[in-house]
Amino acid sequence: MKMAKVSSLLRIPKYRSFVVIPVTILQTSAAVTNHRPKSRRLCCSVWDSVLNFHRKNNSRAFTSDSPDSLAVTSTLSTPSHKRHEEYGRLLPCPAENVLPRNIEHLVVKEGGPVLDFITKALDLPPLYVADLIHFGAVYYALVCPKPPSTATMEEIRLYKEFTNPSLLRKRPSLKGKTLREAQNTFRITCVDEFVEAGTYVRVHVRPKRFPRCYEIDWKSRIIAVTESYVVLNKPAGTSVGGTTDNIEETCANFATRALKLTTPLKTTHQIDNCTEGCVVLARTKDYCSVFHRMIREKKVKKLYLALAAAYVPPGIMTHYMRPFRKAPKIISQDFIPGWNLCQLEVLECRKVPWPNASIEEENGIQDLNWPNKEFAFECKINLLTGRTHQIRAQLAACGAPIVGDSMYMPAVIAELVGPAKLKKQFESDSAIEEWAAKHGKEPGVSIGLQASQISWDEDEGQHHLYQAGPPWWTQ
């Protein structure tokens, strides 16, 4: 009966194809339905077995939108039956990411299987927790990291209690490790994995989803298949190798299934989720290492087509990017010590019609109210350094943001409206943050950017060159 419930999820209404649920999910579901704690002595009731900075009636937890940016927020107690309706299964995939992503930070008080621990600590259905583990949305560290500055005195006291040197010395798993090493996080991959007392567990309760994965005819997106690699014309609105909280809905996984390969394809390089075009996926670990080495040695050449909202003069463009992991990426024309060099070469820039509303809607392009939509400008770009968001940030810095780029175009529009107020003088952290606040959110699906061509020369003298075909704005 329970297995019938799983199979009933196979069909996704409103999508052009059926969801291919991997065998591992079905196996995991079967394992969960038969799951029993390995040791009743080690798996007690929820409030006896978990220290999660919660209180049973007045619930209070470390929650955040990012593992690096924690904030203490109150959480309301929700009846179990309501929570179990709200958290059913991760499949079928919702059509949109409408619910906010949130993260729960827990510490184990008494050891036991991780699935039991999370199920009880967060009052979530076991199958939902099993899905989270399968999606790669659960992490652990042997020792809890330091709580945020907003933590309460009680939470700080509990942290100190569980990181007390005398207590840590009694844990065999920490032998030979420094505190910093013990606080490194690792992904949990098995529902039966045992978590000992004092272990820190991070649960991404609502992972970022990629509904477009289920709409694509993946076989039609394959450009080339060789013994060593596969070249994919990546669709916009998808992730090459996954996110921190979702390693299931990826180009690598769906291409593997489309080609019916027995060994999963491996990611060799990344392009933004909102970018389409050429991506190389390795078929073996050895070739993955070979391709990484060629990238480091700058033997891999990438050409992009960018649909800019304004003219971009041909030539080499140089900026410096703030070494900050989060977007938006802030760049400066002036050299700033410690900032990363960004260079690209605009090979040509030609005027083209701005895509009409129906084409934009079909491809998930947001209307951002750019003042002049009569013409756009298609730029052919040779990427000289490969920074995250580099083309998007550099073109925006020149006043020519990419069409549909909801993160960088709003800042350019704001600058056009009041250039005197928004001079980008990055002389202080507050000035940088003020400029970053002018930016918008990451695009939902697509922007006018395509990785149109990739080429490389191998040591044996073999030359490889692949093209993605026409970009969406010309179809």
Q: Would you put residue 123 in left (φ > 0), alpha (ψ -120 to 50) or beta?
A: left
Could you give the CA distance from residue 50 to residue 63 in angstroms, rounded to a whole number? 16
Separation in Å, CA 461 to CA 245, 284, 288: 40, 21, 18
> Which of the following is catalytic: 116, 131, 245, 272?
272
Could you give the CA distance from residue 163 to residue 180 in angstroms, rounded to a whole number? 11
Using DSSP, state whether 53 is helix, strand or coil: coil
Using DSSP, state whether 431 is helix, strand or coil: helix
- Tell me which H or E stretch contains 167: helix 165-168
- Whether residue 32 contacts residue 130, with contact meaning beta carbons closer than 8 Å, is answered with yes
Q: Computed from CA positions of residues 392, 397, 400, 405, in that sequence, does the dihedral angle turn out positive or negative?
A: positive
Q: Computed from CA positions of residues 452, 457, 458, 464, in that sequence, does the dihedral angle turn out positive or negative?
A: positive
Find all residues with CB under 8 Å of 110, minimum gap 6, and list them.
42, 43, 44, 48, 49, 50, 197
Count, residues in the chain: 475
Which burial class, exposed, middle or buried, applies to 441 when counting CB atoms under 10 A from its CB (0-12, 13-18, 19+)? exposed
- Tell me which H or E stretch contains 378: strand 375-383
Question: Is 367 among the residues known to form the active site?
Answer: no
Using DSSP, state whether 329 is helix, strand or coil: coil
**One-letter amino acid of 111:** G
Write out the DSSP string of 73-93.
EE-----HHHHHHHS--S-SP
Could you give the CA distance from residue 179 to residue 446 in angstroms, rounded to a whole number? 43
Comparing CA positions, the residue from 435, 431, 391, 395 lying closest to residue 415 is 435
Using DSSP, state whether 41 is helix, strand or coil: coil
| Residues 137, 138, 144: CA angle, nearest 5 degrees | 140
| Residues 243, 245, 250: CA angle, nearest 5 degrees | 45
Could you give the CA distance from residue 242 to residue 346 in angstroms, rounded to a whole number? 30
Residues belonging to the active site: 272
